[in-house]
Structure 1
Amino acid sequence: MEAFFGNWKLVSSENFEEYMRAVGFGEEQVQVGNIVTPVISIYQDGEKVVTKLKTSIISSENSFILGKEFDENVAGKQYRSVVHLDGGKLVNTRKWDDKTSFLTREIQDGKMIMTMRCDDIVAVRTYEKISEVD
């Protein structure tokens, strides 16, 4: 789990627009989401893991205990989520309405690779570790 801790800045993105549409974001949010460069901070706070998302437009924060369901808010969208470790990967299952999406984070060559899947749409975003958040 410790390998995920730190600040991560987006450096590449593939098929993110289609993923955002698949999870129900409107076209304006899709366009904004595709141009901002988020920084994700992940750290431990007691028994909870905290994730903070920061862009030039929005910020959000969520905390969870591995394996326990929690309410997650991402860019104004509400999910019922659970996160667990699976073979060194951090897997987040998000449910809302009648849909489910999966976010899998893994560390490869010092980068955090986040693969997002909803229905048959798959997006991949790559993050590099940075020392500080602007």
Structure 2
Amino acid sequence: MRESWAMAYLKGTFCAGYRKTLRCEGINAFIKGFLKSTDSILELVHSLDRVVKDYRNNEVMAQFYYMYYSPVLTTSLEAMELFASKVYTRAVFKEVKKQIKGVATLLFRGRDSISTTCVYRFSRIGK
């Protein structure tokens, strides 16, 4: 029943294609890489300690790249690309950059207004 109403609260919220369940599944998969079913309690605690340290290290690395990483701007939409590099993490920025590249190959052909709707016409470069 919860699944039917939870999406209503997320409607209109930009999540960049990610949902909390995906993040939990990712963390679970990450932890499973460190654990074995034959581990003792002591080995389990040591493994979980390694998981936490590794996870924190990944967060620190992501924060470092966010603060000090200057991307190479490769499209004609430099301002948009630079803004996206500052807003998103490095991994998400790579996905957003693909979309920016797709938009950069479009040429604006015109705009028509029909009542309260605007129709924009584009074509791809070379077509």
**Which TM-score bucket, shorter chain as reference?**
under 0.3
More helix by share: 2
**TM-score, normalising length from structure 1?**
0.21
Which structure has the bigger radius of gyration?
2
Q: TM-score scaled to structure 2, two decimals?
A: 0.22
Compare the two structures and name the one with the higher strand fraction: 1
